[in-house]
Every structure is written in structure tokens, then in C-alpha cells.
Chains A and B, each alone.
Chain A
Amino acid sequence: MTTIDIDALLDNEESRVIVCCGSGGVGKTTTAAALALRAAERGRQTVVLTIDPARRLAQALGLRELGNHPKQVQVEGFEPKGELWAMMLDMRRTFDDMVRVHAGPERAEQLLQNPFYQTISTSFSGTQEYMAMEKLGQLAATGEWDLIIVDTPPSRSALDFLDAPTRLSSALDGRMIRLLTAPAKAGGWGLRKVVNAGFSMFAKAVSTIIGGQLLTDASAFMQAFDSMFGGFRERARKTAELLRSSGTSFLVVAAPEPDALREASYFVERLSSESMPLAGLIANRTHPVLAKLSGAEALAAAESLQEGDTNAPLAEAVLRLHADRVELAAREERLLARFTRAHPEVALAKVPALAGDVHDLDGLRDIGVKLAG
């Protein structure tokens, strides 16, 4: 098993983007913030893009609301050698901004008012992932930071952010929408002759179910959207290119739990098949055993205290909680060993769990120290 050299990764001037990915609830956001803080203190001009930080973490970074633009982290006594900037993604505003840039003022207003746009920009599954990648592209394009650290959305699958741009494109670009919306546009079933009968039946069925108004909205949206589609696709292509470039590293974050590690395995395989550069796996919140005392010995001693005459509830508790911890650590080691056997090439960093939540920069700095080993 090799260990990730986190400091070498952060110090390397060729490193421009670090993407933290993994399934939900494994501590991606905190890891991203801790890496960013460490990079800033080691001299990099760093920005961290967070998706949905816990309130106290957001406060620690001085983020009180969705800003959608990076703000410099300024806390008394915090004087990093470089700079630390942070932002929280505002999905809707990012989408709106993108529409404004591509559509020109008049058409943009039309689009933003369209009810179908409102659905796509807030409810389409994958919009958040798409916008996170769009924002990354924007931050990279400014050239204002020399290191961008990105958190990824708590998706159903950790892979969603890789697929979201394509999925949204195919939903908005396909022949499907033209065929389906054509009747509404033409005010009739003019395409019936040219498409197969099954499809026109389907279009009719869809229209019966979702209603004419929605199809009209969708049609209007598509007409306005058509002109900017090329621009969208071009940006998605550029972001994908950025993700594949040598300046980008992926860190897969996983808790030492079966589900999270299974998801991490999928991710590692996917990254390698997409030739995306993987820096390693962060096994987050491990519980290493601190005291050199076997579980069996501790339990035997606890039993003898319980059965004996001495009243030593504290010592008994200490022994039992130590035995619990030995058992937990052994399970975590087993799970990680299984992962390493399946992916021997993946470097690993283990980050012991903190006892409490992170609520200030000192807490983040502690995690950074643990990350660096």
C-alpha cells in the first residue's frame, strides 16, 4: 500500500485543480476545505468551491449565505502565506448567469421567465452536478487562483457529476424534443406522416398526460434555447477537457464502510477508464487503536472487574470502550485491505475521526495535518 503525499500534491505548481469526490456523508466538503486551508498556508492562491457545507463549516469559512462568487476568508489571526478564498454554489444563479452570457439580454429574459426553464434549472436531476462543473470552468477561466479545490454534490451516485453535462445535453438536444414539440409549434400533428406511427401515438399519449401548456412552454423554451446550445456544449466540452488535463487530480473520499468503499471502487474504475488522473483514496474518519492492549485482554480484565469485589466502574468502562475500539478498527482495516487488494495501484491516506464537529479554522487545520500524515 502506498501513501498519498498530500503536501507534494498541494505544493506542486503544476497542480491546478483538485476534485474531491465520493458518496454522500463521507466528509467530502470538510476534506476539500481542510486541503484548501493547508494549501493556502503553504503559499498557494487557493479557492475552495463547496456545494452544501454544514452550517458550522460554512461559518468557519466566513460563508453566511450562498454567494456564488468567491470571498476571501478573513479571520483575525489567520495570516496564510498564500490566500484562501471560498464560495458556496448557488445552482440557480449559476444557470441564470450562463443563460445571460449566451443568450443576449432580450432572449435571456424570455428564457428565464419560461416555466419550463424553471423546472430544468431547479428540478432536473443532475443540474447541481452540471452547475458545479460549470462553476469550476468559470473559476479556472479567470486565472485568479492557482489552485482550485472542488467539492462535488451529494449525488445518488458519485459518478453523477461526470455524466450530468452529457445527460442534460441529450435531454435538451435530442430529436425527441423537436418531434414532441413540433405538434405544439405547428398547432397540429403535421409530423405524423414523416415519423413512424408509434412515435406519433407516443407524442399524443405524452401530450394527453402532461398537457398542452407544458408542451407549449417547452417548445418556446427550445426555440429560444436552440441558439445558445452550441455555446453550452462547447463549455461542457472545455470543462471535460480541464478534468482530463495533467493539472487536475481526483481524490476519492470514503468512510471505512462497505457502501462508501463500494462506491469508491466504482469511481476508481470509472476514472481510470476515462483517463482521469486519480491521486488516491482518502479513508476518512478511521478509528485507529491508540493504546497497545489487545481486545481480548481488555475484555477479560473488564469481566474480572465486573465479577470481582472491587468497585471500579471507570476502569471497567475504559476497558470495554477500548475493546469496542479494537473491534471497530479491525473491521475498518479489513474493509480497507479488501479495497487495496482490488485496487493495489491506488494510494491511500487515512484520516482519523475527530471527536467533535469542525467549527473553526483550527479544526480544519487539524484535519489538514492528519491528511498530510
Chain B
Amino acid sequence: MTVSHAGWTDELARARLHFVTGKGGTGKTTLAAALGLALAREGRRVLLIEVEGRQGIAQLFDTEPLPYAEQRIAAVPGGGELRALHIDVEAALLEYFEMFYNLGFAGRTLRRMGAIEFATTLAPGLRDVLLTGKIKECVGRTESDGRHTYDAVVVDSPPTGRVVKFLDVTKALTDLAKTGPIRGQADGVVRLLHSGETAVHLATLLEEMPVRETVEAVAELDGADLRPGAVLVNRVRPPRLPARSVTAAADGRVDASRVRTGLASAGLKLPEDTLDALVEETVEHAVRVAAEQRAREQLAEADLPTLELPDLTDGIDVAALYDLAEALTDQGVRL
């Protein structure tokens, strides 16, 4: 019934750059935030990055939309700190231009004219190169004492369908000039993304489509020589039925008279139609548990460390993020 928790491996504990991807609707933003909080325990400083312009992090932490600047978003027990950054592609491109060409005032005008959106349309790879370039800068930045500014960086990444394209900077570079400023920096990005410092985690639910996308994404990551990290199974609900009853119940076979006797001994005498309805609920539950079990078996094919996060009936608020972070810590998440 249960899957063995390989948990967080030593190899993962060595990674400093964590991408969290997943099919839409699997909760990757939530899990990226929870992972950031979990890694920031014991006085660490972690940066949580958003790249898709959705302001999902601000919504999650119930704050104003994030600017293009690193700012503190949560304190973590033990003196740790989580900061957040929303990378704005246009601003990042202007930042580059400012570095190499003195555009000054013209830069802002160009932005208003939509020139930058146009440039990134012309070369879609440019967008990804800019984003990953900024991420690398954050990972590599050091303070005056020579220590890294961030102990870890967590990126709420594009969904599974696009993530390999996003991370496969080498390929995106074919869009770009063979020399030039961005090119030079991109070589460093490629080295970082393919190194042991980077792990790509996959958020999933125990449902057919998300699991299939996860397995496909793992193969795709392997094919691009990128390193899949852990599978983060989100919204796991407790199986209530004894394991041996699941298959029969999923087939519609629930021993109603045994339920009735059991309920009676708890002092519950229910009308026949209520009992029938309880049996129907039980069958539905069993069908779901059986489907989840098949999903787990399919996930096992990916052969990756697997961590499970509970379904929180009251929904996700800031307090719930800390609960999820604790669940991750309990399963070995550490730096």
C-alpha cells in the first residue's frame, strides 16, 4: 500500500539550485514556497524565484505584487529568511543592455513601445536565456566575506511541458548570435544547470495525467542531460479502508451487513438508505484509492526519491505553507 520513501538524498542536500516543475494544477508554486521555507531552517537564507509573470508567490503569501527586486517574504524559525524575486524579462533584458550599451532614457521608451516584447518574440530562446542568466547570477553572488549570498535558490519553474526547453539553454542559444555579451554568460549558465548543484523536482498529484506528465518529463530531463531531483506528491489523502478491502470495495463489493453491525456496536442505528449512501461513498473512496495506487506504481518507474505532502482541507494560507515545509523537513529535506 505505501511506497518506500527514499526521502531527500545526500546528493539532493548538496544541490543549491532547485527547480520545481509540474503539470498545471499540481501546486508547484505552493511546493516551491514550502521547499524554500524548509531549506531556510537553521538560520539559512533562501531565495524563491518566479519566472512566469503570474505573481503566484505574492498571492500565496498574501502580499502586494512582487517588484523586480529581491525582498524578504517570510521569516523562518531558527533565524532563517526567505526572500522572493519576480524576474521580469523586459527588465532583465534592459539590465543587460544597460551593462553593455548606455541606453539610459531610451531604454524606458523602448519598453513602452513594446520593443522588448518584440525582441523576445523574434527569438523565444532569448527569454529563457535571460531568465536562467539572472537565476545563475543569484546563485553565484557572494558577499564581501566571500560567502554565498543565498544558501539555496528555489525556482517556481514553467510547467512540465515546457521545462526542458526552458532549462536546455544550449538549444536556446542556437537562436542567438555566436558571439556577444549574452552568449558569453550563457556558457556559465549551461555549466551550472548540468552540474550537481542543480536539481529539478517534479510536483504531481496521484492522478493519471499528472503522473504521466511526470514520467515523461523525467525521461525528457534525462535525455537533455539535466538532473531530475525528487518527486513531490502533493495533496495526498489518507487511505481509510484496510488495504485488503480496497480491491473488493472498488469493485462495488462492500459487506453492508458488517458495516451495519459495526455501526450498531458504536451505538449508531441508521436508516437503510443512509447505510446504502455510506456504502456508495465507500465504493467511491475505494475506486480513488485504487487509482492512486496505480498512479504510485507508475511513479515508481521514474525511480526517484519520493516525498509526500498531505492534502490540507482548509486550503493553502501562509500557516499551511509552514505545515507543508515541516512535512518536507520530516522527510529529510535539508541543505
* Stretch from B69-77, B103-111, B145-153, B323-331 contacting the other chain: B103-111
Q: Is A170 an interface residue (CB 8 A)?
A: yes
Band of interface residues on B: 35 or more
Q: Is B277 an interface residue (CB 8 A)?
A: yes
**When the two chains form the complex, which single residue of A258, A289, A335 contacts B316, counting CB atoms closer than 8 Å?**
A258
Q: Is B177 an interface residue (CB 8 A)?
A: yes
Q: Mark B272-297, 1 if CB is under 8 A from A, else 0.
A: 00110111111111011001000000
- Residues A295-343 near B (CB distance < 8 A): 297, 301-302, 304-305, 308, 310, 312-322, 324-325, 327-328, 331, 335
* Residues of B close to A328: CB separation below 8 A: 313
Q: Is A78 an interface residue (CB 8 A)?
A: no
**When the two chains form the complex, which single residue of B105, B245, B287, B313 contacts A314, counting CB atoms closer than 8 Å?**
B245
Asked, given contacts A24-B24, A290-B277, A315-B261, whether A201 binds B177 with beta carbons under 8 Å apart, the answer is no
Q: Is B181 an interface residue (CB 8 A)?
A: yes
Which residues of chain A have a CB within 8 Å of any CB of chain B?
23-26, 54, 116, 119, 123-125, 154, 156-157, 170-171, 174, 176-177, 180, 196-199, 201-202, 204-212, 214-215, 218, 255, 258-260, 262, 289-293, 297, 301-302, 304-305, 308, 310, 312-322, 324-325, 327-328, 331, 335, 355-357
**When the two chains form the complex, which single residue of B175, B208, B268 contacts A54, counting CB atoms closer than 8 Å?**
B208
Report the Cα distance A357→B104, complex, angstroms: 57
Chain B interface SS verdict (over half): helix
Report the Cα distance A258→B315, complex, angstroms: 8
Chain A interface SS verdict (over half): helix
Report the Cα distance A316→B258, complex, angstroms: 11
* Interface pairs A-B: 6 shortest CB-CB: A198-B106, A315-B262, A25-B25, A312-B262, A211-B177, A24-B24
* Residues of A close to B265: CB separation below 8 A: 305, 308, 310, 312, 315
Asked, given contacts A25-B25, A171-B118, whether A317 binds B266 with beta carbons under 8 Å apart, the answer is no
Decide: A214 and B122 in contact? CB cutoff 8 A.
yes
* Residues of B close to A356: CB separation below 8 A: 287, 291
* Residues of B close to A54: CB separation below 8 A: 208-209
Q: 9 A-B pairs, CB-CB below 8 angstroms?
A: A119-B123, A174-B118, A196-B109, A198-B103, A199-B110, A201-B101, A218-B122, A293-B270, A301-B266
**Residue ID in chain B nearest A170 by CB atoms:** B114
* Residues of B close to A312: CB separation below 8 A: 258, 261-262, 265-266
- Residues B248-262 near A (CB distance < 8 A): 254-255, 258-259, 261-262
* Stretch from B1-9, B188-196, B236-244 contacting the other chain: B236-244
A197, A206, A258 interface centre (most CB from chain B within 10 Å): A206
Decide: A174 and B242 in contact? CB cutoff 8 A.
no
